[in-house]
């Protein structure tokens, strides 16, 4: 038994039953899962929670899964908090989601979405992806015995494209951006009959991403941080974490303090930052010529734009666009100085933090969480050309 009460349209508030699968609302807006929070409050305590296994499923009451036997899992651990002690004063903390199955936080959302798809008897799902979501989908679908079809931009990171196919998903490179992939998936819903698991085109992925907020709150002793930097593409993490904080507050588990939510994007693709700065409540036009190496944020017009902008405003947050070259340099510097191999998206959060402290929009003493959403090993690394011929005398002076 779950504590879900209904599904709710994020735009109109219209309610829908949760006992059958529904993609979006009648207003074509994302659906949010709503829970009986009073009943949850009576059913679970912080003390009980503290005794559970250190994985994502410790938050089962906050999830739409009907019971432990409905879980499709690859072993989703709680991810560590790593303070930056040399590049900052320890108050800047990386949440390292690279430890998740398939090396990214996409595992959280897709573990829930695939568990729900299986419970609803769905046998074929499809997704557009910048790479990581496709890899997670392929893995969880193989685990669940569900067929998966994945479309990604043909210039997505090579390792990830191969990873998707390696997990058994039918994998297609598309000569366009994620929105073009999304159009193919949407049209295939009628023509092929697969289920569209695109970001926010179904209500459950965001529930998985919500566990990042629950976990963060618990790891910090239920004292939420001052500010969260999140590399924002479709925005599920931003929306999911905010939902977590609201649910915890409604249960009386956290007070009224909320982190400022910072959407980190690229100067080469920053539709949410632009819309926020211009005072809009949606992205008016898709970003043109989206060419950034920060692949996870290369979403010209996110479907959940209104929800993301709402979170940024309600949290007194902001948007920060970073320069791709600065991010590449920062990623290398963090690996050398802190021993932490961030994804390019994670490094973007560090650059945004540095930039916004400099701009004065963020206080340098604030406790800041930087989301490293994927393992650094997913991206290409610079080649090494220093060679040694072991058959010849070695000049040891070069090592001194």
Ligand X SMILES: Cc1ncc(COP(=O)(O)O)c(C=O)c1O
Binding mask 273-312 for ligand X (x = CB under 6 A): -----------------------xx---------------
Instruction: State the nearest-atom distance from the C-beta of 334 to ligand X, in Å.
Output: 15
* DSSP secondary structure code for residue 105 in this structure: T
Quick check: 235 and 302 in contact, CB under 8 A? yes
Instruction: State the nearest-atom distance from the C-beta of 278 to ligand X, in Å.
Output: 20
Instruction: State the nearest-atom distance from the C-beta of 201 to ligand X, in Å.
Output: 12
Quick check: 300 and 292 in contact, CB under 8 A? no
Using a 10 angstrom Cβ sphere, with 0-12 exposed, 13-18 middle and 19 or more buried, the burial of residue 394 is exposed
Q: Give the residue, chosen from 9, 126, 133, 321, that forms a contact with ligand X under the rule CB under 6 A.
A: 133
Report 319-358 residues binding ligand X (CB under 6 A): 343, 345
Instruction: State the nearest-atom distance from the C-beta of 134 to ligand X, in Å.
Output: 9
Report 149-188 residues binding ligand X (CB under 6 A): none
Distance CA 100, CA 177 (A): 26
Q: Give the residue, chosen from 44, 113, 373, 379, that forms a contact with ligand X under the rule CB under 6 A.
A: 373
**CB neighbours of 181 closer than 8 A, spacing ≥ 6?**
128, 129, 151, 152, 153, 174
265 binds ligand X, rule: CB under 6 A:
no
Using a 10 angstrom Cβ sphere, with 0-12 exposed, 13-18 middle and 19 or more buried, the burial of residue 214 is buried
> Given the rule CB under 6 A, which of 230-238, 270-278, 329-337, 388-396 is the region that contacts ligand X?
230-238
132 binds ligand X, rule: CB under 6 A:
yes
Quick check: 306 and 10 in contact, CB under 8 A? yes
Report 37-96 residues binding ligand X (CB under 6 A): none
Instruction: State the nearest-atom distance from the C-beta of 374 to ligand X, in Å.
Output: 4
Q: What is the DSSP string of 330-379?
A: HHHHHHHHH---B-HHHHHHHHHHHHHHHHTSS-TTS-EEEEE-BBGGGS
Quick check: 327 and 344 in contact, CB under 8 A? yes
Distance CA 39, CA 55 (A): 23
236 binds ligand X, rule: CB under 6 A:
yes
Q: Give the residue, chosen from 44, 56, 93, 130, that forms a contact with ligand X under the rule CB under 6 A.
A: 130
By C-beta, is 322 or 373 nearer to ligand X?
373
Query: How many residues in the shown chain lie near ligand X by CB under 6 A?
Result: 18
* DSSP secondary structure code for residue 61 in this structure: G
Residue nearest ligand X, Cβ-based: 296
100 binds ligand X, rule: CB under 6 A:
no
Q: How many CB atoms lie within 10 A of CB 73?
A: 17
**CB neighbours of 335 closer than 8 A, spacing ≥ 6?**
341, 342, 376
> Given the rule CB under 6 A, which of 218-226, 231-239, 242-250, 280-288 is the region that contacts ligand X?
231-239
199 binds ligand X, rule: CB under 6 A:
yes
**Token digits for 366?**
């604030």
Instruction: State the nearest-atom distance from the C-beta of 230 to ligand X, in Å.
Output: 7
104 binds ligand X, rule: CB under 6 A:
yes
By C-beta, is 44 or 150 nearer to ligand X?
150
By C-beta, is 151 or 253 nearer to ligand X?
151
233 binds ligand X, rule: CB under 6 A:
yes
By C-beta, is 237 or 270 nearer to ligand X?
237
- 380-385: long-range contacts, CB 8 A cutoff, minimum separation 24: 380/157, 380/158, 380/159, 382/332
Instruction: State the nearest-atom distance from the C-beta of 344 to ligand X, in Å.
Output: 8
Enumerate binding residues for ligand X (CB under 6 A).
Answer: 104, 130, 132-133, 199, 231-237, 296-297, 343, 345, 373-374
């Amino acid at each position: 038994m779950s504590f879900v009460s209904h599904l709710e349209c994020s735009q109109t508030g219209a309610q829908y039953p949760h006992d059958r699968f529904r993609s979006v609302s009648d207003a074509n807006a994302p659906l949010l899962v709503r829970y009986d929070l009073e009943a949850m409050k009576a059913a679970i305590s912080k003390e009980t929670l503290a005794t559970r296994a250190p994985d994502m499923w410790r938050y089962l009451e906050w999830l739409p899964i009907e019971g432990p036997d409905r879980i499709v899992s690859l072993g989703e651990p709680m991810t560590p908090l790593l303070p930056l002690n040399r590049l900052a004063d320890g108050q800047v903390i990386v949440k390292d989601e690279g430890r998740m199955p398939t090396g990214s936080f996409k595992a959280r959302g897709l573990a829930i979405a695939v568990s729900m798809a299986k419970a609803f008897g769905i046998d074929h799902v499809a997704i557009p992806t910048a790479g990581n979501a496709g890899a997670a989908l392929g893995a969880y679908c193989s685990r669940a015995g569900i067929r998966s079809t994945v479309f990604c931009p043909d210039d997505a990171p090579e390792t990830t494209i191969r990873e998707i196919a390696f997990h058994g998903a039918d994998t297609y490179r598309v000569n366009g951006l994620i929105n073009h992939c999304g159009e193919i998936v949407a049209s295939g819903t009628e023509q092929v009959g697969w289920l569209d698991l695109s970001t926010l085109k179904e209500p459950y992925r965001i529930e998985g991403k919500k566990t990042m907020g629950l976990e963060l709150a618990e790891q910090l002793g239920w004292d939420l941080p001052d500010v969260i930097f999140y590399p924002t593409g479709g925005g599920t993490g931003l929306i999911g974490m905010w939902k977590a904080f609201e649910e915890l507050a409604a249960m009386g588990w956290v007070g009224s303090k909320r982190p400022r939510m910072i959407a980190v994007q690229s100067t080469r693709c920053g539709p949410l930052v632009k819309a926020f700065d211009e005072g809009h409540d949606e992205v008016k036009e898709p970003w043109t010529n989206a060419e950034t190496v920060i692949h996870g944020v290369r979403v010209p017009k996110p479907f959940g734009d209104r929800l993301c902008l709402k979170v940024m405003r309600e949290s007194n947050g902001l948007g920060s666009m970073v320069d791709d070259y600065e991010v590449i340099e920062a990623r290398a510097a963090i690996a050398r100085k802190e021993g932490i191999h961030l994804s390019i998206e994670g490094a973007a959060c560090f650059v945004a933090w540095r930039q916004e402290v400099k701009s004065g929009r963020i206080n340098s003493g604030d406790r800041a969480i930087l989301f490293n959403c994927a393992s650094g090993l997913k991206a290409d690394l610079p080649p090494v050309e220093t060679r040694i011929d072991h058959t010849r005398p070695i000049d040891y002076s070069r090592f001194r």
